[in-house]
Structure 1
Amino acid sequence: MRHPLHPALVHFPIACWSLASAADLASLFLGQPAWWLAGVLMTIGLTLAIPAMIAGFTELMRLPEDNPAIRDVNRHMIMVMAAFSLYLASLLMRVEGMTLHAPGLLAMALSLAGFVCLGIAGWLGGKLVYGHRLGAD
């Protein structure tokens, strides 16, 4: 029985990005410790997302073009890439050299928009597994 690698890898960036967005919101009340943690979690999430996205893309290449799930697969991939791009943009707005700085409102808004895209991507991923039965024997 072959288990797809992608589902095993996605939990780490999802957790990091979700906690980063929560830390951004908490930074409104807690200040520097929370926004610093958000930046660190974004960095870890972005790094761990790369192997997860490679594994997902590799599994996509094995999917026949006429598979009825292909439309939802493409939507899932677009939402993941949007989340990645939004979190990356948010991180770049709060880094100067090798130092994290307090995020501005735009950087925080990008983080929250990334979280929304991540939620949509997760919902679509669930639809792929439980609705289309991708990866299930």
Structure 2
Amino acid sequence: MSHPLHPAFVHFPIATWTLATVADLASLHWGQPAWQFAGVTMAIGTLAALAAMATGFVELQKLEDGSPVIGAVNRHMLLMMAAWCCYATSLFLRLEGTSLTRPGMLSLGMSVIGFLVLCIAGWWGGRLVYEHGIGVRGRRPS
């Protein structure tokens, strides 16, 4: 396939994690319906992110050894893994067995931190495409 899969896969975890963080903050006012929605969307995003990370790793393998863009790729990758860890931690903190419970402040904090890290990592991902041409047909990464 000539089109990279990574850009197609990243939208789902970004959307679900963003919704989860918004719902977490809304749960401070609206309670159970919001925190249950947050937990479900967070679980979906955490699983979907595994596919996005796998396809990103495939794209990483396409870079030539010694590519000048590898530093930016590594920053993006490490930040995305950190965001995944924040959301996975937040999810596990709100689980009792297989049931979702009301998130505590630590769980809410991890959700917010995860979102902030996600935003920074997404910015780095955008730089990879728009500044360095990663995944752009006919352009070698610079």
Shorter-normalised TM range: over 0.9
Q: Please, what is the CA RMSD of the aligned residues?
A: 0.9
User: Residue 34 of structure 2 corresponds to which residue in structure 1?
Assistant: 34
After superposition, residues 1-137 of structure 1 pair within 5 angstroms as 2-137=2-137
State the 1:117 CA deviation: 0.8
Letter in 1 for 2:136: A
- CA offsets 1:42-62 (integer angstroms, 9 cap, x no match): 100011111110000011011
Aligned equivalents of 1:97, 1:47: Cα separation in 2 = 18
Letter in 2 for 1:13: P
Aligned equivalents of 2:7, 2:113: Cα separation in 1 = 23
Letter in 1 for 2:117: C
State the 1:65 CA deviation: 2.4
Query: Would you say how many aligned residue pairs link Structure 1 and Structure 2?
Result: 137
- CA offsets 1:53-103 (integer angstroms, 9 cap, x no match): 000001101111221111000000001000000000000000001110000
Structure 1-normalised TM-score? 0.98
Q: Identity, % of aligned pairs?
A: 55
In structure 2, the gaps of 5 or more residues are 138-142
Which deviates further from its counterpart, 40-49 or 63-72? 63-72
Structure 2-normalised TM-score? 0.94
Aligned equivalents of 2:123, 2:65: Cα separation in 1 = 22
Letter in 2 for 1:25: L
Spell out structure 1 runs of 4+ moving beyond 3 A: none
In structure 1, the gaps of 5 or more residues are none
